[in-house]
Amino acid sequence: MKKIFLLSTFFILGFASCKNEENTQFECSDGEIYTESGCQKDTDGDKIADIEDNCPFNANYLQEDRDNDGIGDACEGMETDLDLDGVIDSVDNCPDDYNPDQQDSDNNDIGDACDEEPTDTDGDGIIDSEDNCPGIQNPDQQDSDNNGIGDACESTADDTDGDGIIDSEDNCPGIQNPDQQDSDNNGIGDACESTVEYEGTTQDPVIIPVSPFGNTYTDSRDTNNSTSDVFDSYPPDSLDESGPEFIYKFTLPQRMRVRAAIASPEPSNVDIDIHLLSSLSPLTLIERSNLSVEQYLDAGTYFLSLDTYVSSGVEKKGVYALTVIFEPWFEGSVDEPVWLGGSNGPVALPYVHVDSRNTADSVSDEIDSYPPDTLDESGPEYVYAFTVDRPVYFAAELLLPEPDGADIDIHLLSSLSPVTLIERDNYKIVTELNAGTYYVVADSYQGMTGDYTINITLRERDMPHSTLFADYMVSATDWIWANYGLLGYDINSVLTHDFTYGGYGTISQSGVSGKTMCVAAVMEIILTAMMLYEQDTGDSTVWDFLPMRSWQYLSSKDIRAHIWVNYGDIDSGGSADALRHFGMGMNVPFEKLVPGSVVNINRTTGTGHAVVFLAFLDSAGNTHDTYTNDIIGFRYFSAQGSSAVGSGGMSYRNAIFSTYGCPTDISEKDCNVIYSESQHYLNTGVIYHPDHWREAYYTYLARSKGGYWPDVSSFDGEYFNGKTTDD
Dump pLDDT digits (tens) for 28-60: 677 777 665 677 787 777 667 777 777 777 767
Q: What tens digit of pLDDT does each residue of 647-674 get?
A: 999 999 999 999 999 999 999 999 999 9
> Cα–Cα distance between 511 and 524 in angstroms, integer?
15
| Antiparallel, parallel or unpaired: β 451-460 and 351-358 | antiparallel
- Report the pLDDT value the prediction gives residue 116, as an integer from 0 to 100: 63
State the DSSP string of 633-650: EEEEEEEES-SSTTTSEE
Is pLDDT above 70 for 626? yes
CB atoms within 10 A of CB 569: 15
Residue 228, helix vs strand vs coil: strand
Mean pLDDT of the 396-401 span: 92
- Give per-residue burial for 672-701: e unless 16+ CB within 10 Å, then b: bbbbeeebebbbbbbbbbbebbbbbbbbbb
Q: What tens digit of pLDDT does each residue of 80-112 get?
A: 666 666 666 767 788 877 777 777 766 677 887
Q: What tens digit of pLDDT does each residue of 262-308 get?
A: 987 788 899 999 999 999 999 999 999 998 898 999 999 999 999 99
Pinpoint the residues of the chain covered by CATH 2.60.120.380.
197-328, 351-462
Q: What tens digit of pLDDT does each residue of 549-608 get?
A: 999 999 999 999 999 998 778 899 999 999 999 999 999 999 999 999 999 999 999 999
> Cα–Cα distance between 188 and 176 in angstroms, integer?
13
Task: Please indicate whether residue 476 or residue 155 has the higher confidence score (pLDDT).
Answer: 476
Over pLDDT 90: what percentage of the chain?
A: 61
Cα-Cα-Cα-Cα torsion 487, 488, 491, 496, nearest 10 degrees, comes to 0
Are 97 and 113 contacting, i.e. CB atoms less than 8 angstroms apart?
yes
Phi then psi for 484, rounded to 5 degrees? Answer: -140, 25
Phi then psi for 207, rounded to 5 degrees? Answer: -85, 125
Mean pLDDT of the 455-476 span: 96
Work out the pLDDT band at 191, boundaries 50, 70, 90: confident
Query: What's 197-328's CATH class?
Result: mainly beta
Q: What tens digit of pLDDT does each residue of 106-153 get?
A: 667 788 777 766 667 677 778 777 888 876 777 888 876 676 777 777
Work out the pLDDT band at 246, boundaries 50, 70, 90: very high
- Report the pLDDT value the prediction gives residue 241, as an integer from 0 to 100: 96
Q: What tens digit of pLDDT does each residue of 419-458 get?
A: 999 999 999 999 999 999 999 999 999 999 999 999 999 9
Task: Please indicate whether residue 66 or residue 724 has the higher confidence score (pLDDT).
Answer: 724
> Cα–Cα distance between 84 and 419 in angstroms, integer?
31
Is pLDDT above 90 for 78? no
Name the strands in the sheet holding 292-297, side by side, starting at the edge strand that comes first in the sequence.
215-222, 319-328, 256-262, 292-297
Q: What tens digit of pLDDT does each residue of 405-422 get?
A: 999 999 999 999 999 999
> Which CATH code fits 351-462?
2.60.120.380
Mean pLDDT of the 530-553 span: 95
Sequence-ordered list of residues with C-beta below 8 angstroms from that of 676, at least 6 positions apart, any chain: 682
Sequence-ordered list of residues with C-beta below 8 angstroms from that of 615, at least 6 positions apart, any chain: 595, 623, 624, 625, 634, 635
Q: What tens digit of pLDDT does each residue of 608-625 get?
A: 999 999 999 999 999 999
> Cα–Cα distance between 305 and 217 in angstroms, integer?
15
Mean pLDDT of the 641-645 span: 94
Amino acid at 626: T
> Cα–Cα distance between 687 and 61 in angstroms, integer?
51
Is pLDDT above 50 for 21? no
pTM of the model: 0.69
- Report the pLDDT value the prediction gives residue 694, as an integer from 0 to 100: 93
Q: What tens digit of pLDDT does each residue of 349-360 get?
A: 999 999 999 999
Are 341 and 351 contacting, i.e. CB atoms less than 8 angstroms apart?
yes
**What separation in angstroms does the CA of 339 have from each of 137, 327, 336, 343, 700?**
27, 10, 8, 5, 22
Which run of H or of E encompasses 702? helix 697-703
Is pLDDT above 60 for 22? no
- Report the pLDDT value the prediction gives residue 29, as an integer from 0 to 100: 72
Is pLDDT above 90 for 692? yes
Q: What tens digit of pLDDT does each residue of 512-524 get?
A: 999 999 999 999 9
Is pLDDT above 50 for 9? no
Among 570, 586, 36, 635, CA closest to 350: 586
> Cα–Cα distance between 243 and 230 in angstroms, integer?
9
Q: Where are the beta strands (DSSP E) in 149-244?
A: 206-207, 215-222
